[in-house]
Structure 1
Amino acid sequence: MSELLIVGIGNLLMGDDGVGPRVVERLGRETLPAGVSLVDAGLCGLGLLDIWRGYRQVWLVDAVAVADGCPGEVRWLPVEAVPRAGRIDAHGGLEAVLTLARELNQLPEQLEILAVVPQRVAPGRTLSDVCARAVEAAVRMVLARLG
Structure 2
Amino acid sequence: MKTLLVMGIGNILLRDEGVGVYCMQTLQKEEWPENVFFADGGTFTQDLFYLFEKYDHLLVLDAVRGGKEPGSMYRLEEKDLVHNKKQQVSLHDIDLLDSLRMAELLGSKPTLTVMGIEPQEIAWEMGMTPTLEKVFPDFVELTRREIHKILSTF
- The TM-score range, normalised by the shorter chain, is 0.7 to 0.9
How far 1:32 sits from its partner (Å)?
1.9
**Which residue in 2 is equivalent to 1:109?**
110
Unaligned ranges ≥5, structure 1: 85-91
Relative to structure 1, the CA distance from residue 49 to residue 137 in structure 2 (aligned partners, 3 Å threshold; closer, same or farther) is same
Which runs of structure 2 are paired with 1:95-134 in the superposition (5 Å)? 95-99=94-98, 101-102=100-101, 105=104, 108-134=109-135
**Which residue in 2 is equivalent to 1:53?**
53
Give the percent of matched residue pairs that are identical in Structure 1 and Structure 2.
Answer: 24
Letter in 2 for 1:144: R
**Which residue in 2 is equivalent to 1:87?**
none
After TM superposition, the structure 1 stretch with the greater mean CA deviation from structure 2, 21-30 or 95-104, is 95-104
Relative to structure 1, the CA distance from residue 70 to residue 21 in structure 2 (aligned partners, 3 Å threshold; closer, same or farther) is same
The TM-score, its normalising length taken from structure 1, stands at 0.82
How many residues are aligned here?
A: 139
Q: Does 1:137 align with 2:138?
A: yes
Relative to structure 1, the CA distance from residue 133 to residue 31 in structure 2 (aligned partners, 3 Å threshold; closer, same or farther) is farther
Letter in 1 for 2:34: A
Unaligned ranges ≥5, structure 2: 84-90, 150-154
Q: Does 1:73 align with 2:72?
A: yes
Letter in 2 for 1:53: E
After superposition, give the CA deviation of every residue in 1:75-110 in whole Å (9 maximum; x if it has no partner).
Answer: 2111122248xxxxxxx5211330453366257331
Letter in 1 for 2:122: V
Relative to structure 1, the CA distance from residue 78 to residue 21 in structure 2 (aligned partners, 3 Å threshold; closer, same or farther) is same
After TM superposition, the structure 1 stretch with the greater mean CA deviation from structure 2, 51-60 or 96-105, is 96-105
Equivalent residue of 2:79, what SS? helix
